[in-house]
Structure 1
Amino acid sequence: MALSPSHVAGQLRHLIYYHLDNNLIRNALFLADRLHAFEPRSFEAQYLLSLCHLHNGEVKAAFECSQPTGSRGLHAGCAYVYAQACLDLGKYLDGVTALERSKSLWASKNHWNKHSETQRQHLPDAAAVYCLQGKLFHAHKDLNRAVDCYVDSLKLNPFMWDAFLGLSATGVNIRVPNIFQLSPELLAMISSSQDELDILSDHFSPTEGSFPMPTTGSGVDPFMVSATLPDHDTTNGSSALYEKLNLSSANAPTVPKPIIHEGMETPGQSSGSEDFRIANGVTDPWDPPLAPARKMRTIQAMSLDHTGQEPPVAPSEREPPPAPRIGDRKRTVSGQVAHPLPPQMTEPGAPQRRSVRLFNQIKPTTKLTSSTLSGRDGREVKKVRSTTSKARTGSTSTVGRVVSGNRKPIESHDSDGKDHRATSIPPVPPLPRNAEKTKEIEALSWLLGLFTKLASGYFSLSRYKCTDAVQHFNSLSQGQRETPWVLAQLGRAFFEQAMYADASKYFSRVQSLAPSRLEDMEIYSTVLWHLKNDVELAYLAHQLLEVDRLSPQAWCAIGNSFSHQRDHDQALKCFKRATMLDPEFAYAFTLQGHEYVANEEYDKALDAYRHGIKADARHYNAWYGLGTVYDKMGKLDEAEQHFRNAAMINPTNAVLICCIGLVLEKSDNSKTALVHYERACSLAPHSILARFRKARVLMKLHEYKFALAELKVLKDMAPDEANVHYLLGKLYKTIHDKANAIKHFTTALNLDPKAAQFIKDAMESIDDDEMEDDDMA
């Protein structure tokens, strides 16, 4: 018997996927090499070989294997692996070109909800490819096209978290709840027919998320905002990106614009996704998948609400349901014969009672029904199934009724022989299959609600609205909140507010839950640096080094430890090592700049900060560093501009506002400086720096009464701060209160003996001023 090449190749492919699923990458790579040798011209063989190289960490080998087919876009898998390798190797435009050439192979694919324990989709779908394209454009600094790709990815699959992170990093304004909501496309992929889709969308009631449920056929773009425009960030010229993101004009009320199918021109991009189309307010949201032929009995049962009546729909939205055929018998899952309720009991179109929904959620399910909507146990369902065939004979129905409620209900006999109608629980007509899909919708809505809270917290933090971010994260359930990622975000939120003690508590919990976690640990090391906790900082550095000595976070922690010991040269070596390991690690460049400033090497500091901005244009710390260097060099105009750039990115940071005020104060613009100090005090009421500078500029403006009030508050906030007492002494000296002036000068001298000469000169000048006053008198 002749050897069958197709069977040999099929067996090899099966073995490769088996080893990939079991994370036996070297075995899979060996078998992929055999398959490629057996079928050297096969696109799939090239794809599997390059995929195994990529999983094995051999990026250049994956690039070489996938290049012949992937660069020309002949196979979707090869193009995808080739683009991933290009992203790692810095060949961003080559990866974009390969994905564009293969667009016809993946543009119409959507694999959401098609993966399970027994089912896989080995080729990428449109959502995954758009996300990868967005990363390539983002790395190439083409933010406009990156935003377009991220938006297309999230429209097809709102759970594409990488796309949301990338979208947040671009600096555009977005409405987070508009992303994570049940769209008609998601419902269409769960439901097998238009009738089921209408039933599920009418019955759905979100329980976790605060997002609105889009009505079927409403023509609402998930990324479209209302006519009330949000506050615009001033970063990255976000108005243009915002317009692309929401497909609407930023200067006019929002009007739904068409989302064109592939191959047609769209504003801001060459071709759009084929997910749905909106034209002139009339929506044809999706083409439902072909459903198998079903009996009229199923259609009738699915046209009922959970309360036994028709779901509320507008007359123009759906056709009236067909009348039942004569002789059909329809019963509910609970075994009752469906019958219409009297008009006085329920109002037509009334939604399902919340108590019924809660009751349905807590009742245990049975093997016969996916969800026990009627509240009955499994034994009654079995009884109904056994008696249904007998009940079919000898019964007719009245023509013209929508629901078959003209039959007598099943009668139950108690031990006393009396008949009782089974009316204690209202009938719940949906079939088990529909009930299962309802449960799937409920699970999906819960997940979308969870993603809404997580994304809202992350987006608020990315815009440095730290108080809002903390509120969003704290609204999570305890199980979700006590996870390393959420705790790390909470730590970052408190770090940005300069609340280092609180930030340390959260990062410490992250360390206890995930000792090998590296992400965000460079921030934790800076928190410990501010807290002057040398022991914990050294321990963290050693721990991170043991986890991965080639991670930039570990070398940042080591550098911060040396910096705390004032060994700036060793700290610089560590920070340089971090940037060598990851040239896009902006925070390490910023830490380099701080050490150069400490060494008074301002030219090198400027170069380090500029590298940080090149790595991440929204890294406000680097902009702040540039402003600090120019301020020390006496270039006040350049310093003010860079401080303002940093404040545009992080408008809620009181320190940046104080820096702008300080530069203005040095430029003899005290009145404008006072405005900035007042704003800083409103942003951070407990900021000692902001209040101190505000009091100082009030004294310059001869507003002694207000300055004294600020200094008294400041004295209570920081009783051991020598500068506060020194300034109080100068104020009392100015208003000729000699006793209080000497009192506060003496306190300042005790708190800071190093400044004794300045304080003694100020105290001696009090007597000189009195002598001058006596001579004038």
Structure 2
Amino acid sequence: MAPSPTHIASQLRQLVYYHLDNNLLKNALFLASRLVAYEPRSAEAAYLLAYCQLQSGFVKAAWDISRPAGARGSHLGCSYVFAQASLELGRFVDGLTALEKSKHLWQNRNTWGQHNESRRQHLPDAAAVLCLKGKLWKAHKDIDQAVESWAAALKLNPFMWDAFMGLCEAGAKVSVPNVYKMSTEMIAMTHVSQQQAAKIENPSMTLPAAVSQTHNASHANPAPADPFVSTHKQSGHSQLGNSVLWEKLNGSKMSVNTTGTVLDEEGSNTPSTEVEVNEGILQGGAVNHYHEPPPAPVRKAKSTADVPADPPPRWKTGSTRLKAKAKVASDDTAVLHDAPAPTAPSKRTVSGQPTSMAHAPSGTAEGTRRSNRLLNTGRPPSTSSTTGSKISSLANTLGLREGRDIKKAKAPVVRPRTANTSTVGRVVSGNRTRTGSTDAMDVDTKEQRTAANAPPVPPLPSSKLRIESAVNKDLEAIQTLLDLFGRIASAQLCLSNYDCQTAIQIYNSLPSAQRETPYILTQIGKAYYEQGQYADAEKFFIRVRQLAPNRLEDMEVYSTVLWHLKSEIELAYLAHELISIDRLSPQAWCAIGNSFSLQREHEQALKCFKRSTQLDPQFAYGYTLQGHEYIANEEFEKALEAYRAAVAADGRHYNAWYGLGKVYEKMGKWGIAEQHYRTAAKINPTNAVLICCIGLVLERLKHPEKALQMYTRACTLAPNSALSRFKKARCLMSLGRPREALAELLILRDVVPDEANVWFLMGRLYKTLREKGNAVRAFTMALNLDPKAAQYIKDAMESLDDEEEDPYDQDEDMD
């Protein structure tokens, strides 16, 4: 008889997953198309085909295949693939709508701890969907909704690094300690994961009711639901399906994941209700225009120390020392339906009766077995049943279930009827008398009295101890990872807020194995670059190139570092290497453009920068470099267009705001230039160059006192900045405070002793203070350092009482 299409489709699905797991995308795509032919109306088949197409790079085809079920929200996998394809295709609203319609399928899903070498979850959970929603909202230019989605994703899964980076790039104020801490959900899911793993290794062991319910749910649904909440909505005042378990774990009657359900019942129709779970993650709104998300209800936080050493009773595995109520043997068999069935009629329950007999409804596990034995007043069992009962007794003592393969016992041997402390509590069956004996009840009564007076026997090593040990090790490993991620996240948050010195200190405090990785070294190099310490930044980027010679990420920053260091040969070599790695990467074309720019070939540099933005329209740095080249060519209108494109791609790209201010400054529009400089300084408040630019514009607007405040702040941020201190000295000189200006120049003389501007300005100050000897020495030093200005310097020396035109009055001389 030919197999049914259902069985054929099942085999095809297994083959598709096999080839996906082995990264054989072409094979998986071909098999998925065969599956759709067998099940043309199956949303699962459409999901697999769309997923294979998306992984293979056929984004439009994946969008078309997943749209029927994905746009309606009837299948979570289709909606997820449809949203991912929509993000790639720029159809952001379609993707957000699909995810919102499928909200009832993912809002309570939590697959923490469900992925390992032998298990996989092919459908996303709430954290993954929320992370994708954040990306869609960001692409849709709604940063507030993106921040809420990313914060909700981190609440469910703190290791969602994409979500954390999204919050950093959005400028949100994040409380890192509240993100990377052990939560009750992690502890509970770790217990469930280990118990399920133990169940797979030993199918005959008895699992607690909570784990058994989760196990059954996984058979009913391909992806198991959250074990802490009900998978359906309750009406009235009824409790959630697993509320008792949640109360024991958290001391409350609601899981974090149930918030969306409750809000839906109360009639909330907002597209993003996940903000209710963001308690403690966001400290405030994002930088600039981002407003603060609504506050979430206060929720009691629990640390690892608050969790009892042993799990709740319902989570313990079967043994002779269980504290919870014993389950009926027939019920256990029904719950664990994958356990082996009894193989011989001699199998008995602990009372010696067949498994269909009812047990006492109350008492502990051990007490139940004894009471059932005492109630056994029927016909004495035969020799064969005695043997089977002894085997069953031993199995129960060792914590084993009936149905597990046990080595067959030898023939029964007549033993004395006197019970001693070595046998009491170990033999629990009442079938110890010889066949045909009529004093079974007497023996049972005597043994019960003896057992009551006997000291307790230490329990044998059981699966419960192994599970507890594994859980403790897993929790220690998770806590170690949380600490590591918390430190990296703190450094990343400082770097995104341009607190570069703090970021460098945190990165350097990481373990050497973690610090000496390309990603961390790159972040340290970027921190030095933002501080203007290009030589130090170069050292770290060189180390990155040694560890990962094919790395492309952030290499555009390295090329700019080499541009500032005027390293033509190194920059040309870097551009050549990057273009050989991937000629279609925007970083490679950015490096080539910087190489041409350093050689003052601005037209060639512009072509390369434009190519980088063609390859990646969201590459904001490429637009900014175009603007710099247009300024060099004095094409101010084109420069404005380039900078505006960079701001449109990334609203927090302060370099583009600085470029806009520089263009308006050169055009003589001081007020507009000040606005753009202040916007850039609001994003990067630690950049001394931006503060100096604001001071310069204020001087042009005839506000010298405010300009002096800006210069003083810049000197505080960068004490070794020659530009800031020089402008401060000139501002003090213009305000008629020559001695304060001279003090600044004396400091600057030690910083840049070979700068002619400093010596010439010192000569003018000495002349003002009528210190002619010092003035002559200062002018002489300036003349030696800059012979081209000899005429002006000689005139100043010959007539110290006359004011000459300052040949270094251009601000660009100290840039």
TM-score range, shorter chain: 0.7 to 0.9
Q: Secondary structure at the match of 1:237?
A: coil
**Residue 430 (structure 1) shift:** 8.5
Q: Which amino acid aligns with 1:82?
A: F
Which AA in structure 2 matches 1:145? Q
Within-5 A mapping of 1:646-657: 646-657=680-691
What residue in structure 2 maps to residue 413 of structure 1?
none
C-alpha separation between the residues in 2 aligned to 1:119 and 1:430?
A: 22
2:584 maps to 1:583 = no
Report the CA distance between 1:68 and its aligned residue: 2.0
Match 1:237 to one of 289, 293, 300: 289
Corresponding letter in the other structure for 1:641: Q
CA contact (8 A) 2:521 2:543 kept: yes
- Relative distance call for 1:620 and 1:768 in structure 2 (3 A) is closer
Give yes or no for contact 2:654–2:683 (8 Å, CA) kept in 1.
Answer: yes
Q: Partners in 1 of 2:53 and 2:366 — Cα distance?
A: 62
1:740 maps to: 774
The aligned counterpart of 1:297 is 321
Segments of structure 1 that go 5 or more residues without pairing to the other structure are 197-214, 249-254, 259-275, 278-286, 301-321, 329-367, 369-387, 396-403, 411-426, 771-777
Q: Report the more deviating stretch, 433-442 or 569-578.
A: 433-442
Structure 2 distance, partners of 1:574, 1:625, is: 19
Q: Which moved more, 1:42-51 or 1:487-496?
A: 42-51
Residue 78 in structure 1 maps to residue 78 in structure 2: yes
Deviates more, 1:38-47 or 1:537-546: 38-47
Aligned partner of residue 630 in structure 1, secondary structure: helix
Contact 1:234 1:649 in 2 (8 A): no
Q: Give how far 1:165 is off.
A: 1.0
Aligned to 1:660: 694
Task: Quote the residue 2:374 is aligned against.
Answer: none
Which residue identity is paired with 2:123?
L
Match of 2:449 in 1: none
Farther-moved stretch of structure 1 (141-150 vs 737-746)? 737-746
How many angstroms apart in 2 are the aligned matches of 1:289 and 1:480? Answer: 40
User: CA–CA distance in 2 between the matches of 1:769 and 1:607?
Assistant: 43
Deviation at 1:527, TM superposition (A): 0.4
Aligned residues: 613
CA contact (8 A) 1:178 1:222 kept: no
Q: How does 1:456-535 map to 2 (within 5 A)?
A: 456-535=490-569
- Provide the rounded CA distance (Å) in 2 between the counterparts of 1:493 and 1:2: 67
| Counterparts of 1:594 and 1:481, CA distance in 2 | 34
1:41 aligns to what? 41
The one-letter amino acid of 1:544's match is L
**1:385-419 Cα shifts (integer Å, max 9, x gaps):** xxx98684699xxxxxxxx9x96999xxxxxxxxx
- Which of 295, 298, 311 is 1:256 aligned to? 298
Residue identity in the other structure for 2:749: K
Cα distance in 2, alignment partners of residues 536 and 289 from structure 1: 66
Q: 1:632, 1:589 → 2: CA distance?
A: 19
SS at match of 1:236: coil
Match of 2:714 among 667, 671, 680: 680
CA drift of 1:225 comes to 4.3
Q: Distance in 2 between matches of 1:147 and 1:288?
A: 36
Residue equivalent to 2:761: 727
C-alpha contact (below 8 Å) 2:754/2:785 kept by paired residues = yes
Q: 2:783 maps to what in 1?
A: 749
- SS of 2:288's equivalent in the other structure is helix
Secondary structure of 1:431's counterpart equals helix
Judged with a 3 Å threshold, the aligned counterparts in structure 2 of structure 1 residues 768 and 673 are, in CA distance, closer, same or farther, namely: closer
1:91 equivalent in structure 2 = 91
Aligned to 1:31: 31
Q: Which residue of 1 aligns with 2:199?
A: none
Per the TM alignment, residue 763 of structure 1 is displaced from its structure 2 partner at its CA by 3.2
Counterpart of 2:288 in structure 1: which amino acid?
N
The structural deviation recorded for 1:767 is 5.7
Residue 377 of structure 1 is matched in structure 2 by none
For the 8 Å contact 2:662–2:673, the answer to whether it is kept is: yes
Looking at structure 2, the residues matched to 748 and 188 of structure 1 have their Cα atoms a distance apart, in angstroms, of 74
Distance in 1 (CA, whole Å) between partners of 2:286 and 2:49 is 47
One-letter amino acid matched to 1:236: N
- Which residue number corresponds to residue 306 of structure 2? none
The change in CA–CA distance for 1:762 and 1:288 in structure 2 (over 3 A counts) is farther
Quick check: 1:555–1:577 contact (8 Å CA) kept in 2? Answer: yes
Residue equivalent to 2:136: 136
Equivalent residue, structure 2, for 1:314: none
Note if contact 2:36-2:46 (Cα within 8 Å) is conserved in structure 1.
yes
In the alignment, the residues of structure 2 paired with residue 104 and residue 495 of structure 1 have an alpha-carbon distance, to the nearest angstrom, of 47
Partner Cα separation in structure 1 for residue 757 and residue 38 of structure 2: 80
CA distance in structure 2 between the partners assigned to 1:3 and 1:55 by the alignment: 31
Give the conservation status (yes or no) of the 8 Å contact 1:178–1:223: no
Q: CA deviation at 1:742?
A: 2.2
CA distance in 2, matches of 1:133, 1:769: 66
Contact kept, 8 Å, 2:313 with 2:323, in 1: the verdict is no
Q: What residue is the counterpart of 1:181 in the other structure? A: 181
SS in 1 for 2:72: coil
In structure 1, distance between residues paired with 2:422 and 2:475: 33
User: TM-score normalized by structure 1?
Assistant: 0.74
Among 531, 546, 550, the alignment partner of 2:580 is 546
SS in 2 for 1:594: helix
In the aligned structure 2, how far is the partner of 1:48 from the partner of 1:288? Answer: 39
- Shift of residue 550 of structure 1? 0.6
Structure 1 CA distance, aligned partners of 2:107 and 2:561? 46
- CA shift for structure 1 position 757: 4.0
Counterpart of 1:448 in structure 2 is 482
How far residue 754 of structure 1 moved from its aligned partner, in angstroms, is 3.3
Task: Please state how far the C-alpha of 1:113 moved relative to its aligned partner.
Answer: 0.6
Question: Aligned partners of 1:481, 1:298: CA distance in 2, in Å?
Answer: 47
Indicate yes or no: 2:633 matched with 1:599.
yes
Provide the rounded CA distance (Å) in 2 between the counterparts of 1:156 and 1:546: 41
- Equivalent residue runs for 1:213-228 within 5 Å: 216-217=250-251, 223-225=278-280
CA contact (8 A) 1:460 1:469 kept: yes
Shift of 1:34: 1.4
1:169 is matched with 169
Instruction: Tell me the CA shift for residue 132 of structure 1.
Output: 0.5
Is the contact between residue 170 and residue 286 of structure 2 (CA under 8 Å) also seen in structure 1? no
Report if the CA contact (8 A) 2:665-2:673 is conserved.
yes
Matches within 5 A, 1:260-339: 291=315, 294-295=318-319, 297-299=321-323
- Superposed, 1:5-24 pairs within 5 Å as 5-24=5-24
Report the AA paired with residue 762 of structure 1.
A
Percent identity between the aligned chains? 57
Distance 1:128 1:389, change over 3 A: farther
Larger Rg: 2
Render the CA deviation track for 1:282-327: whole Å, top value 9, x for unaligned.
Answer: xxxxx99974774572449xxxxxxxxxxxxxxxxxxxxx999789
User: Which letter maps to 2:782?
Assistant: A
Q: CA deviation at 1:195?
A: 12
Question: Partner of 1:697 in structure 2?
Answer: 731
Which residue number in structure 1 is paired with residue 111 of structure 2? Answer: 111
Check conservation: 2:127, 2:154, Cα contact below 8 A. Answer: yes
Residue 148 of structure 1 is matched in structure 2 by 148
Say which SS state the counterpart of residue 174 (structure 2) adopts: coil
Shift of 1:233: 7.7
Separation in structure 2 between the aligned mates of residue 71 and residue 234 of structure 1, nearest angstrom: 31
Map Cα deviations across residues 251-274 of structure 1 (whole Å, 9 max, x no partner): xxxx7179xxxxxxxxxxxxxxxx
Aligned to 2:268: none
Instruction: Tell me, in whole angstroms, the C-alpha distance in 2 between the residues paired with 1:290 and 1:760.
Output: 95
Give the aligned partner of residue 269 of structure 1. Answer: none
Is the partner of 1:516 in helix, strand or coil?
coil
* Correspondences of 1:754-769 after superposition (within 5 Å): 754-766=788-800, 768=802
2:743 maps to what in 1? 709
Give the TM-score taking structure 2 as reference length. 0.70
Residues in 2 aligned to 1:75 and 1:580: alpha-carbon distance in whole angstroms? 36
Whether the 8 Å CA contact 1:115–1:121 is kept in 2: the answer is yes
Please tell me the root mean square deviation across aligned C-alpha atoms, in Å: 3.5
Cα contact 1:181–1:222 (8 A) shared by 2: no
Aligned to 1:306: none
SS at structure 1 position matched to 2:181: coil
Q: Is the 8 A contact 1:194 1:288 kept in 2?
A: no
Q: Which of 39-48 and 581-590 deviates more?
A: 39-48
> Against the structure 1 CA distance between its residues 586 and 739, is the aligned structure 2 distance closer, same or farther, given a 3 Å change threshold?
same
Superposed displacement of residue 625, structure 1: 0.6
